[in-house]
Amino acid sequence: MDFDIVTVWALLILFAVFAYVVMDGFDLGIGILFPALRPGRGRDQAINSVAPVWDGNETWLVFGGGGLLAAFPLAYGVIMTALYPPVVAMLLALVFRGVAFEARWRDPAHRPWWDLAFNVGSTVAAFAQGVILGALLQGIAVEDRMYAGGWLDWLTPFSLLTGASVVVGYALLGATWLVWKTEGETQARARRLAPLLGLGLLAGIVGVSVATLGLEFDYWDRWTRYPVVLLTAQVPLLTAILAYASWRALRRGRELAPFLLTLGLFALTFVGLCISVFPYVVPRALTIHDAAAPPASLGFMLVGAVVLVPVILAYTGWAYWVFRGKVGHEGYH
């Protein structure tokens, strides 16, 4: 295959979105699980486990958005306009959540309210991200390089289903993260919640997959055409294997494995999405080549990305390494 810079950028942005989902997924998940954690110590412990890294996690979202603008400006404009309400809801929820993060420490008199804001903000942000995913999969009307639909086209049972699935998925990431990073009662609670959330996520994955195959595009054909089916069938198979493995790991009291296996589940859903969508960026309306910025833009950025992304990953890894180990409710010692 020839070196195609457009495909490279599509993969880079996919990577950024995946990095975002992996990293902000668990800290949003902790927000979603907040009501299940004990007020006071349990919640402090959960918050402390993500405090040093959450700013960096959310930066991947900026990179995803900025990268989409830079590499696929047409798609960026069309998608953001079409999904205006869920995008705005996500942004506002993230604002609320980010500030509640600081505020619940600094303003103890109103901590129950800030905890609620953290919980609601996290849940709404996750739900909105899921809705955005669903709305993309079901397609966006494009005419003349502009969005050509109404402002509530995104709202369908399918997008609500993807929204709910992402909430459950993030909650599972959050729970398995807590199993890894905390101890005592918080860990025990997370360990009890994880299998339920895992079942929920599996139900979500199955539901979304089946519903996707029923959407009007050629999704069904893509997944079931022989001989492609021999490859695509591996995705659900691996999903089932990973799900079973993480359930076993939880039962055996493993601490890190459930989190990693959940990440594996998320990676598989990404592979599934690629099978459904590639080479489109707005399914069946714009391919990545239709939407791509000119080579002069992509090349200029690629030089930077090749050098900088590994550096970013290195120091991000270092920051996680500095704060390795279990977190106490009182902080690091």
Distance (Å, whole) CA 261 – CA 242: 6
Distance (Å, whole) CA 70 – CA 291: 11
In this chain, which stretch among 65-73, 155-163, 168-176, 184-192 interacts with another protein, using CB under 8 A? 65-73
Could you say whether residue 296 binds another protein (CB under 8 A)? yes
Tell me how far, at minimum, the Cβ of 23 lies from another protein, in Å. 11
Tell me whether residue 9 or residue 219 sits nearer to another protein (CB atom). 9
Tell me how far, at minimum, the Cβ of 231 lies from another protein, in Å. 33
Could you say whether residue 56 binds another protein (CB under 8 A)? yes
Could you say whether residue 323 binds another protein (CB under 8 A)? yes
Which of residues 52, 195, 236, 264 is near another protein by CB under 8 A?
52
Which of residues 7, 81, 156, 287 is near another protein by CB under 8 A?
81
In this chain, which stretch among 27-35, 172-180, 246-254, 305-313 interacts with another protein, using CB under 8 A? 305-313
Could you say whether residue 306 binds another protein (CB under 8 A)? no
The residue count for binding another protein (CB under 8 A) is 72
Whether the upstream peptide bond of residue 283 has omega within 30° of 0, thus cis, is no
Tell me whether residue 235 or residue 301 sits nearer to another protein (CB atom). 301
Could you say whether residue 59 binds another protein (CB under 8 A)? yes
And the tokens for 324? 């390795």
Alpha carbon distances (Å) from 217 to 154, 212, 281, 284, 290? 16, 9, 14, 7, 18
Which of residues 18, 31, 33, 48 is near another protein by CB under 8 A?
48
> CB pairs under 8 A, 24+ apart, for 140-148?
140/78, 140/79, 140/82, 140/83, 140/282, 140/283, 140/285, 141/82, 141/285, 142/78, 142/282, 142/285, 142/286, 145/74, 145/78, 146/77, 146/78, 146/81, 147/77, 147/78, 147/81, 147/82
Distance (Å, whole) CA 42 – CA 261: 24
Select from 187, 179, 167 the least CA-distant residue to 246. 179
Tell me how far, at minimum, the Cβ of 128 lies from another protein, in Å. 12
Select from 250, 257, 242 the least CA-distant residue to 196. 250
Distance (Å, whole) CA 165 – CA 200: 8
Subset of residues 6 to 45 that bind another protein, contact rule: CB under 8 A = 41, 44
And the tokens for 135? 């709305």
Subset of residues 155 to 184 that bind another protein, contact rule: CB under 8 A = none
Which of residues 4, 218, 221, 330 is near another protein by CB under 8 A?
330
Could you say whether residue 332 binds another protein (CB under 8 A)? yes
Could you say whether residue 322 binds another protein (CB under 8 A)? yes
CB atoms within 10 A of CB 301: 18
Could you say whether residue 71 binds another protein (CB under 8 A)? yes
Tell me whether residue 242 or residue 327 sits nearer to another protein (CB atom). 327
Tell me how far, at minimum, the Cβ of 40 lies from another protein, in Å. 8
Subset of residues 224 to 283 that bind another protein, contact rule: CB under 8 A = none
Distance (Å, whole) CA 333 – CA 331: 7
DSSP β-bridge partners for residue 299: none
Could you say whether residue 69 binds another protein (CB under 8 A)? yes
Alpha carbon distances (Å) from 52 to 33, 118, 291, 329? 19, 17, 37, 14
Tell me how far, at minimum, the Cβ of 146 lies from another protein, in Å. 5
Subset of residues 100 to 159 that bind another protein, contact rule: CB under 8 A = 101-103, 105-108, 145-148, 151
